[in-house]
Structure 1
């Protein structure tokens, strides 16, 4: 599987997402975007999430869920207004 038009394969993603957990944030931007795209699929398009629920979901991937949330927002995978978040990009599965 490739994500969001990238050529990043599952073998590369599996180096960073081990048993569903993000081991480290990839330095290479194309790989980082592919990892974030995979994580963003945890959020349903069209659903609004309170910040507490976003944190709970992201905590299952990475202990520093606040940093992960910021990466998703900065990468245009999630958007927010006040303390409400919604999926705004990424691959729809």
Structure 2
């Protein structure tokens, strides 16, 4: 993970690198969502229960539904019309693209 991302999201991670709270500021929220989206394989379609399980493994405040909704609403995850199959969005910024994004959004 890049140093700028680590610095921005560090206050929102515990010692096990799990998200401890949802940031209120948009820039920090997007950084945390990028971090969480990096936990998904772009080549795999996930059932909702699998998305929930991944998110449960990477946060501590027991609200996978809000995280799932934020990932979807902010364009990090796509889902089918039934809402039962999710896939990482091809358009979402990856952590590798973060340097360019953050330098343009100070």
- Range class of TM-score, shorter chain: 0.7 to 0.9
**Match in the other structure for 1:78:** 77
Name structure 1 gaps, 5 residues minimum.
3-7
**Match in the other structure for 2:11:** 15
Q: Secondary structure at the match of 1:23?
A: coil
**Match in the other structure for 2:93:** 90
1:20-35 matched pairs, under 5 angstroms: 20-35=17-32
Larger Rg belongs to = 2
Name structure 2 gaps, 5 residues minimum.
97-106
TM-score by length of 2: 0.75
State whether residues 40 and 90 of structure 1, in contact with CA within 8 Å, keep that contact through their aligned partners in structure 2.
Answer: no
Q: Secondary structure at the match of 2:78?
A: strand
State the number of aligned residues.
88
Provide closer, same or farther for how the CA distance between residues 45 and 79 of structure 1 changes in structure 2, counting only shifts above 3 A: same
Alignment RMSD = 1.6
TM-score by length of 1: 0.85
When you count helix as a share of all residues, which structure comes out higher?
2
